[in-house]
């Protein structure tokens, strides 16, 4: 394939830490990377120490670690300041009696306080559950309940969505806001921070000790708590180097919220482990404010998602012309299939190839990627990173030849791999049912040059604007609505969001279909669960297709929607 911008590709390749992909694969060893960390002397480790304190205690002390801005705030923090602030927060938690292994949730908008809190919690060895600020009460309750969380850091505005009285384990509520009335178990973040010492005795962790719980959806059951350990730093540091291509001169922007795994692995750990300056932009998405962010901070490396790129594309090429994006040298994408058309548009208007990367909440870090040093094929997720083996396998674990579609599977283990599903060993085991492999749940094929091509999900999991939604969770909420008898939820293809959520609903006696009722049902999910889980489309049906055992057949709903044959109907009820 001809390369429309050889010069840029060469310039990018010159920056790459990887050199040649094939040579790197050949000479690869995870042990080599491990040696870079403190634990090679001590055997003990802490992610927050390696990401922040290591730099604060060295030549990077006065270098900006974090630029933060939103419509009201405009701040920056050096590595030294990040260290002191996170130390203070660690002391706040210790004073409250919170200790290693306790589950702490952070439920607040992306502001510097979130980062102090997350790092401070890791410093005392707590296990952090970051929650996206758009979650509503049911989503918050499910997660805190499942993990028996002892503390939550939130804002007065979000507090009404935390059913404190119904969560017996939840002893501490730390409020980031003004005019907080402290009470038993209720703390004023700013006041506590002010009183706390800047010196902290870090909790030295075993590499297999817990660090994060990221809840994510499957096709059945409630969201599961994917458990990550401090050992993941090897992976984050390494992929930060070879995939994000970060070094100490970079100003880096990951647009993901830490409520999702991209916002922690690559919005916190990878950039800071590599000593880069990290940019966080609060507030809502707008093409204007995003482009201004790149221009203002002279961002060099930018990691975002297909839906965002598609929205930027929709905003037009003119919006780009008014802005100076010349600082950008590397652009990446994750979360959903990246259309070749978007890659070509990126070449044209940014002069940059958008590099697709593939991974999951469960994998903890990037696994299949397009590198700066690699010839990328628009539409492909790239190749497995050196140190990782991926393959397409059939349902028995047999490796399939090139161009055969099958299960995308990864040879176990790798450093950032999840170590359990909280409270649910059976769920965990399901991922490893084919001996020696992690089964991703994605289907894909590999071409004859080793590039992987995403085809879809094997299960009913929906990917809307890069956010993973379990149909079961939405269906459960829908049937709580007084008008809803039964509900089946599918992902409907959408040009901007990838998929949107569509619900098929049968109504209870006494309710008649209407546009108002659709709006009311959608609002009910939005306010009860979260905006991104709310159906954008609802269709009423007298009856939903079910198996004889009473399970709603989403496969048939999907076939109806797409005007496809319904496939094997032998198990259908009638
Ligand atoms: O289906 C794949 C899709 O997103 C799923 C993982 O979602 P989540 O755990 O929320 O993590 C997203 C960010 C790490 C995958 O099973 N997915 C992720 N990256 C890609 C992708 N689909 C196509 N291309 C990608 N690059």
Whether 52 maps to a domain, the answer reads: yes
380 Cα–ligand 1 center, Å: 13
Q: Does the structure's ipTM exceed the value 0.85?
A: yes
Tokens of 319: 């919006």
146 Cα–ligand 1 center, Å: 24
Q: Say whether both 52 and 162 belong to one domain.
A: yes
Residue 22 pLDDT class (50, 70, 90 cuts): confident
The residue whose CB lies within 8 Å of the most ligand 1 atoms, and thus the one to mutate among 358, 366, 470, 499, is 358
361 Cα–ligand 1 center, Å: 8
Residue 7 pLDDT class (50, 70, 90 cuts): very low
Range of the domain at 382: 19-45+232-386
> What are the Cα distances from residue 317, in Å, to 30, 147, 288, 347?
43, 46, 12, 12
Cβ(485)–Cβ(503) under 8 Å?
A: no
Whether 7 maps to a domain, the answer reads: no
* Residue of higher predicted confidence among 158 and 32: 158
* Domain final residue, candidates 229, 254, 283: 229
Q: Say whether both 175 and 269 belong to one domain.
A: no
- Residue 114: CATH number of its domain: 3.40.50.12780
* Domain final residue, candidates 229, 258, 288: 229
- Give the start-end residues of each E strand in 125-223: 127-131, 151-154, 172-175, 186-188, 210-216
Q: Is the pLDDT of residue 1 over 80?
A: no
Summarised one tens digit per residue, pLDDT across range 358-385 is 999 999 999 999 988 888 899 999 999 9
Q: Say whether both 69 and 216 belong to one domain.
A: yes
Whether 451 maps to a domain, the answer reads: no
336 Cα–ligand 1 center, Å: 5
Whether 295 maps to a domain, the answer reads: yes
CA–CA dist 207, 45 (Å, integer): 6
pLDDT at 390: 98
pLDDT at 569: 64
Q: Say whether both 502 and 558 belong to one domain.
A: yes
Q: Say whether both 191 and 74 belong to one domain.
A: yes
The residue whose CB lies within 8 Å of the most ligand 1 atoms, and thus the one to mutate among 217, 335, 355, 456, is 335
Which residues, other chains included, contact 309 with Cβ-Cβ below 8 Å and sequence gap of 6+? 333, 338, 342, 345, 346, 354
Nearest CA to ligand 1 atom 5: 360
* DSSP symbols for 69-120: E-SS-EEEEEHHHHHHHHHHHHHHHHHTT--TT-EEEEES-SSHHHHHHHHH
Nearest CA to ligand 1 atom 14: 360
* DSSP symbols for 440-508: EEEEEEE-TTS-EEEEEESSS-EEETTEEE-HHHHHHHHTTSTTEEEEEEEEEEETTTEEEEEEEEEEP
pTM: 0.94
Q: State which ligand 1 atom lies nearest to the alpha carbon of 441.
A: 16
Q: Is the pLDDT of residue 555 over 50?
A: yes
Mean pLDDT of 4-26: 61
pLDDT at 9: 45
Lowest mean pLDDT among 7-11, 174-178, 276-280, 372-376: 7-11
Residue 222 pLDDT class (50, 70, 90 cuts): confident
Chain Cα centroid distance, residue 495: 21
Q: Is the pLDDT of residue 23 over 90?
A: no
The residue whose CB lies within 8 Å of the most ligand 1 atoms, and thus the one to mutate among 218, 442, 456, is 442
Nearest CA to ligand 1 atom 18: 335
Residue 164 pLDDT class (50, 70, 90 cuts): very high
Tokens of 313: 């594309």
* Domain final residue, candidates 181, 211, 229: 229
Summarised one tens digit per residue, pLDDT across range 438-496 is 999 999 999 999 999 999 999 999 999 999 999 999 999 999 999 999 999 999 999 99
Nearest CA to ligand 1 atom 4: 335
Whether 266 maps to a domain, the answer reads: yes
Residue 330's DSSP bridge partners are 301
- Give the binding-site residues of ligand 1, using a 6 Å CB cut-off: 216, 261-262, 334-337, 356-361, 381, 440-442, 454, 457, 463, 468
202 Cα–ligand 1 center, Å: 34
Q: State which ligand 1 atom lies nearest to the alpha carbon of 333.
A: 26
Q: How many CB atoms lie within 10 A of CB 128?
A: 24
Which residues, other chains included, contact 548 with Cβ-Cβ below 8 Å and sequence gap of 6+? 571, 572, 573
- When divided into structural domains, the chain yields a total of 3
pLDDT at 4: 37
Which conformational region is residue 436 in: left (phi greater than 0), alpha (psi within -120 to 50 degrees), or beta? left
Q: Say whether both 96 and 136 belong to one domain.
A: yes
408 Cα–ligand 1 center, Å: 12
CA–CA dist 174, 65 (Å, integer): 25
Q: State which ligand 1 atom lies nearest to the alpha carbon of 366.
A: 14
Q: Is the pLDDT of residue 6 over 90?
A: no
358 Cα–ligand 1 center, Å: 6
pLDDT at 72: 95
Q: What is the DSSP letter of 547?
A: B
């Amino acid at each position: 394939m001809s390369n429309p911008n050889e010069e840029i590709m060469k310039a990018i390749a010159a920056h790459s830490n990887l050199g040649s992909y094939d040579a790197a694969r050949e000479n690869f060893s995870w042990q080599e990377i491990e040696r870079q960390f403190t634990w090679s002397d001590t055997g003990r480790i802490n992610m927050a120490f390696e990401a922040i304190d290591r730099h604060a205690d060295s030549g990077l002390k006065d270098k900006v670690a974090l630029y933060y801005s939103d419509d009201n705030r405009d701040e920056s923090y050096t590595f030294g300041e990040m260290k002191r602030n996170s130390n203070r927060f660690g002391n706040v938690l210790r004073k409250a009696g919170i200790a290693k292994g306790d589950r702490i949730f952070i439920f607040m908008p992306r502001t510097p306080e979130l980062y102090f809190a997350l790092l401070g919690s890791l410093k005392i060895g707590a296990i952090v559950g970051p929650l996206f600020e758009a979650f509503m009460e049911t989503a918050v309750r499910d997660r805190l309940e499942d993990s028996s969380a002892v503390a939550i850091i939130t804002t007065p505005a979000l507090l009404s969505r935390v059913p404190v009285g119904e969560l017996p384990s939840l002893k501490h509520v730390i409020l980031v806001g003004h005019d907080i009335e402290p009470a038993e178990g209720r703390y004023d973040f700013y006041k506590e921070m002010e009183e706390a010492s800047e010196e902290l005795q870090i909790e030295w962790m075993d590499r297999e000790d817990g660090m994060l719980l990221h809840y994510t959806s499957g096709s059945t059951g409630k969201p599961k708590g994917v458990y990550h350990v401090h050992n993941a730093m090897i992976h984050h540091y390494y992929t930060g180097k070879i995939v994000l291509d970060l070094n100490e001169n970079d100003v880096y922007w990951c647009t993901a919220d830490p409520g999702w795994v991209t916002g922690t692995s690559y919005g916190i750990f990878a950039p800071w482990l590599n000593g880069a300056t990290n940019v966080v932009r609060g507030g809502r998405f707008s093409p204007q404010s995003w482009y201004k962010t790149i221009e203002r901070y002279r961002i060099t490396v930018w990691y975002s998602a297909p839906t965002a790129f598609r929205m930027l594309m929709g905003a037009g090429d003119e919006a780009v012309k008014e802005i100076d994006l010349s600082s950008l040298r590397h652009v990446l994408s994750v979360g959903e299939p990246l259309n070749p058309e978007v890659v070509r548009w990126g070449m044209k208007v940014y002069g940059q190839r958008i590099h697709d990367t593939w991974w999951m909440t469960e994998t903890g870090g990037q696994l299949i990627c397009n590198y700066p040093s690699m010839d990328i094929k628009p539409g492909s997720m790239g190749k497995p990173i050196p140190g990782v083996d991926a393959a397409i396998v059939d349902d028995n674990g047999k490796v399939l030849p090139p161009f055969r579609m099958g299960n995308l599977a990864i040879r176990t283990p790798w450093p950032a791999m999840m170590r359990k599903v909280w409270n649910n060993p059976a769920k965990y085991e399901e991922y490893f049912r084919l001996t020696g492999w992690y089964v991703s749940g994605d289907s894909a094929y590999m071409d004859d040059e080793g590039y992987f091509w995403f085809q879809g999900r094997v299960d009913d999991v929906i990917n809307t604007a890069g956010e993973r939604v379990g149909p079961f969770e939405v269906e459960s909420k829908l049937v709580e609505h007084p008008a809803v008898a039964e509900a089946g939820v599918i992902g409907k293809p959408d040009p901007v969001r990838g998929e949107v959520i569509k619900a098929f609903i049968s109504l209870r006696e006494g309710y008649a279909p209407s546009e108002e009722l659709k709006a009311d049902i959608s609002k009910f999910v939005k306010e009860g669960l979260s905006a991104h889980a709310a159906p954008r489309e609802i269709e009423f049906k007298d009856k939903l297709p079910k198996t004889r055992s009473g399970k709603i057949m989403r496969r048939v709903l999907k076939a109806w929607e797409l005007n496809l044959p319904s496939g094997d109907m032998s198990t259908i009820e009638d």
